Amino acid sequence: MAIDAVDLPISSLAASSLAAGKAYTEDDLGRPKRNTWRAIRRGFSGHCPACGTGALFGKYLKVNDRCPVCAAELFHQRADDAPPYLTILVVGHIVGILMLTTDTLFPDFPLLYQSILWSTLTVGLSLLLLPAFKGGLIGYQWALRMHGFDSAPDASSAGADSLG
């Protein structure tokens, strides 16, 4: 089947949304689109995905119910098992590559020092990356209006947009 034989009205779809004044700034329900990468970046840094200034976490991994700055609802988040899985995946690859490289370059490096080094590095990286990955996932859920974030205010209606 040739590509020419497929009749997809992509140009007419784009033209109709441009003619309707949407111009890719609104989703299918007419709500303004949220910047996904900015929300992920804000969440990854521990800030509110809506305004970028309020704290996302009240404690180490405890998400605030509402942003202290813009009062955006954050209790809708469902970051259940994805952040630990992603943390294990990333930390495992980093530490595994470093272990193999160290063993290849320094074959006489004492086993006691290696066990202390790798276990400390694994725990440290895990504790550092877990809140960042959880925040990034919450930002992603907020940007895509998942799990009840569809009624949460946007950055423009929240009144702050300082971290861009």
Q: Which residues pair with 75 in a beta bridge?
A: none
Query: In the predicted model, is pLDDT for residue 97 greater than 60?
Result: yes
pLDDT for 125-139, tens place per residue?
A: 999 999 999 999 999
pLDDT at 132: 96
In this prediction, residue 18 has a pLDDT band, given cuts at 50, 70 and 90, of: very low
pLDDT at 88: 97
Burial 14-29 (b: 16+ CB within 10 A, else e): eeeeeeeeeeeeeeee
Say which residues have a Cβ less than 8 Å from residue 32's Cβ, sequence separation at least 6.
Answer: 25, 26, 154, 156
Q: Where are the domains of the chain?
A: 31-158
pLDDT at 145: 86
Query: In the predicted model, is pLDDT for residue 22 greater than 90?
Result: no
Tokens of 119: 């276990």
Please write down the HEC assignment for all residues of the chain: CCHHHCCCCHHHHHHHHHHCCCCCCECCCCCECCCHHHHHHHHHCCECCCCCCCECECCCCCECCECCCCCCECCCCCCCCHHHHHHHHHHHHHHHHHHHHHHHHCCCCCHHHHHHHHHHHHHHHHHHHHHHHHHHHHHHHHHCCCCCHHHCCCHHHHCCCCCC
Considering the entire predicted model, what is its pTM? 0.74
pLDDT for 108-157, tens place per residue?
A: 999 999 999 999 999 999 999 999 999 999 999 988 888 777 765 555 44
In this prediction, residue 64 has a pLDDT band, given cuts at 50, 70 and 90, of: very high
Tokens of 8: 């997809």
